[in-house]
Chain A
Amino acid sequence: MSELSGLYALWEREFRIFLRERSRIVSSAINPLLWLFVFGGGLGSQVSVGNLNYQTFIYPGVVVMTVLFSSIFYGAYVVWDKRLDFLKEVLVAPISRVTIFLGKVLGGVTDGLIQATILLLFAPIFGITYGLNLTLVYAFLFILVIGLVSVGLVIGSMMESPEGFGLIISFVNFPLFFLSGALYPLSNLPTWLTIFTAANPVSYGVDAIRALMLGTHTFGIFVDFVVLLMFALLMIAIGSLAFKRMKL
């Protein structure tokens, strides 16, 4: 009983703090818009992918980039909880570590989806209109964000300082982003690059969202779904373990 109410309480806390820190929401929306308008607009004046304008082509990729960066960065809040000693209050409560982990995940997923929503509001500018697909877009983002938030939380659970965390995640974020096909199509790549992009779970997120929005894909939406689901489940398992091992 207290597991469920505890889960809700932990989620509610993250959500409240997110809403209280408006600067976080605004700043998280500005970067992707720069990518879309400046990078996409600049390169798009010369380049197109198939019959798609480049700006339109990278739009799904930038949506995924937004949730990627914000989800991984979310792990910093575990480091802060340690710093603030708030984590002690949570760890001494009569709820399991798995519940604590899942509460954090839910908070991160909410943050990530809200940030994605802000960006999705700009979609019509890039000539993207979706009908029923929007539900599926959210479903895929949801599964992807669960996995990515868990990656951030696992790293956060092992770090002592926010500075150290920041350093580590820059080595995680950029490879995942550049190797995801967010900025270029994954077909006709050199073999070594194909290996990396195929091993990157984020590629499947980009592929799915792009398929739903633009109708072009590399892996196919069913493969995307299976891979992302396995990624999410695996990361939940690893994350639960990491939280069980976490020391004060």
Chain B
Amino acid sequence: MIIEIENLTKRFGDFVAVDSVNFSIQEGEVLGLLGPNGAGKTTTLHMLATLLKPTSGTAVVNGYDISKESALVRKSIGIVFQEPSSDDLLTGYENLKLHALLYGVPSSVRKKRIEEVLRLVDLTDRRGDLVKHYSGGMRRRLEIARGLLHNPKILFLDEPTLGLDPQTREHIWGYIERLVEEQRISIVITTHYMEEADRLCDRIAIIDHGKIVVLDSPESLKRALGGDIIRLEIKQPDLDALKKLDYVKKVDARDATLSLTVIDARSHLQEVLAVVGRVESVELHPPSLEDVFLNYTGREFREQEAEGGFWERAMTMRARK
């Protein structure tokens, strides 16, 4: 186990941001912390990176205790923060050199290592440009390269594609996948994008209100729902009739939307429609992480975009001085 977390808890006054979290991460694994904004993902990450002291509980990262051996933990990890944290008045290369010196990368390998990570994120030809002339996606790539520079055992990515446009997001995913292939490294990603977690992660921990709700591979999580999803818009559903159908595993009614988990939904769709009442629209799909989240938390997963977005931060920074 490269990371083992035991009863990790963080309180801010009365507010419990992270509530007795337990899990472990295997070497070489990509683990996703998936949850809505404010679920406690970043707080967990900051505790693992020794930027925040836990209120109680602890974690061992690469064999080092986060409370007692913070310097050794810090050398073992690389972190890409949610907000852009490179200096925009330095060039890409200078930002990397600064990082190498801060982490004591020996001068004999420094240049070579900087070239390597620049190549990995395709920024070699832009290395001499000031970071303020970089796009949001390039800046993210630079910071991923920076996180890898000192050969960490674990890379933390905090909302790696927050606030980026879909095309750039696709790009960043490509780089992360390449990274997993080429570097022997464990990765922890926090995200509130279902698609991102689904695509990149070996295992996903769904986190809500500071607690890990469930942790498993995306496939198992979806399979565990035990059927496909039929979603109906309907004003007055006949719930009693539905309950008599034994292939309907789960009924979830809210407002005018009815979500059914149905075994072999395709062949049973007609029968369901026949008994449920007057339906305004029908949607049938294999279970998604969205449905998994709904199943375990009883709530819809609302994707809140803007709050503290990467790009807005990047824009306000231009106003510096």
| Interfacial residues, chain A to chain B (CB-CB below 8 A) | 1-2, 5-6, 8-10, 12-13, 16-17, 20-21, 80, 83-95, 248
Q: Find residues 97-135 in chain B having any chain A CB closer than 8 Å to their own CB.
A: 97-99, 101-104
* Among listed B23-31, B71-79, B255-263, B290-298, interface-contacting one: B71-79
**Contact residue among B49, B71, B81, B98 (Cβ-Cβ distance under 8 Å from A85):** B81
Q: Are B51 and A91 in contact (CB under 8 A)?
A: yes
Q: Are B89 and A9 in contact (CB under 8 A)?
A: no
Total cross-chain contacts (CB, 8 A): 85
Q: Which chain B positions have C-beta within 8 A of A10?
A: 98, 102
Most buried by A among B51, B86, B320, B321: B321
Q: Are B90 and A13 in contact (CB under 8 A)?
A: yes
Q: Are A17 and B90 in contact (CB under 8 A)?
A: yes
Most buried by B among A8, A21, A84: A84
Q: How far is the CA of A16 from the CA of B87 in the complex (A)?
A: 11
**Contact residue among A9, A21, A89, A94 (Cβ-Cβ distance under 8 Å from B86):** A89
Q: How far is the CA of A83 from the CA of B49 in the complex (A)?
A: 20
Given A13-B90, A93-B102: 7 more A-B contacts, CB < 8 Å: A5-B102, A9-B101, A12-B98, A12-B101, A16-B94, A21-B89, A94-B102
**Contact residue among B102, B104, B146 (Cβ-Cβ distance under 8 Å from A90):** B102
Most buried by A among B52, B71, B85, B320: B85
Q: How far is the CA of A93 from the CA of B71 in the complex (A)?
A: 8
Q: Are A5 and B101 in contact (CB under 8 A)?
A: yes
Q: Are B51 and A88 in contact (CB under 8 A)?
A: yes
Of the A-B pairs whose beta carbons lie under 8 Å apart in the complex, a sample of 16, sorted by A's number, is: A6-B101, A9-B98, A12-B101, A13-B94, A16-B94, A84-B317, A85-B85, A86-B86, A89-B146, A91-B51, A92-B51, A94-B71, A94-B75, A94-B102, A94-B104, A248-B51
In the complex, whether B171 has a CB less than 8 A from a CB of chain A is no
Most buried by A among B75, B84, B99, B102: B102
Query: 5 nearest interchain CB pairs?
Result: A2-B104, A9-B101, A93-B102, A94-B74, A85-B85
| Interfacial residues, chain B to chain A (CB-CB below 8 A) | 46, 49-52, 71-72, 74-75, 79, 81, 83-90, 94, 97-99, 101-104, 146, 313, 316-317, 320-321
- The minimal Cβ–Cβ distance linking B239 to chain A, given in whole angstroms, is 50
Q: How far is the CA of A82 from the CA of B111 in the complex (A)?
A: 29
- The minimal Cβ–Cβ distance linking A180 to chain B, given in whole angstroms, is 28
- The minimal Cβ–Cβ distance linking A207 to chain B, given in whole angstroms, is 34
Q: Which chain B positions have C-beta within 8 A of A84?
A: 84-85, 87-88, 317, 320
Q: Are B51 and A13 in contact (CB under 8 A)?
A: no
Q: Which chain B positions have C-beta within 8 A of A21?
A: 89, 321
**Contact residue among B84, B87, B102 (Cβ-Cβ distance under 8 Å from A95):** B102
Report if A85-B51 is in contact (Cβ < 8 Å); known contacts: A9-B102, A16-B90, A93-B102.
no
Q: How far is the CA of A20 from the CA of B321 in the complex (A)?
A: 12
Q: How far is the CA of A95 from the CA of B71 in the complex (A)?
A: 7
B316 and chain A: residue at smallest CB distance: A83
- The minimal Cβ–Cβ distance linking A98 to chain B, given in whole angstroms, is 13
Q: Which chain A positions have C-beta within 8 A of B94?
A: 13, 16
Q: Which chain A positions have C-beta within 8 A of B89?
A: 16-17, 20-21
Q: Are B104 and A5 in contact (CB under 8 A)?
A: yes
A95 and chain B: residue at smallest CB distance: B102
Most buried by A among B46, B90, B104, B146: B104
Q: Which chain A positions have C-beta within 8 A of B104?
A: 1-2, 5-6, 94
Q: Are A8 and B85 in contact (CB under 8 A)?
A: no
Q: Are A89 and B99 in contact (CB under 8 A)?
A: yes
Q: Which chain A positions have C-beta within 8 A of B316?
A: 83
Q: How far is the CA of A93 from the CA of B97 in the complex (A)?
A: 13
B72 and chain A: residue at smallest CB distance: A94
A91 and chain B: residue at smallest CB distance: B51
Q: How far is the CA of A84 from the CA of B313 in the complex (A)?
A: 8
Q: Which chain A positions have C-beta within 8 A of B84?
A: 84-85
B97 and chain A: residue at smallest CB distance: A9
Q: How far is the CA of A94 from the CA of B102 in the complex (A)?
A: 7
Q: Are B81 and A93 in contact (CB under 8 A)?
A: no
Q: Which chain A positions have C-beta within 8 A of B85?
A: 84-89
**Contact residue among A80, A83, A92 (Cβ-Cβ distance under 8 Å from B74):** A92
Q: Are B49 and A92 in contact (CB under 8 A)?
A: yes
Q: How far is the CA of A17 from the CA of B98 in the complex (A)?
A: 13
Q: Which chain B positions have C-beta within 8 A of A5?
A: 101-102, 104
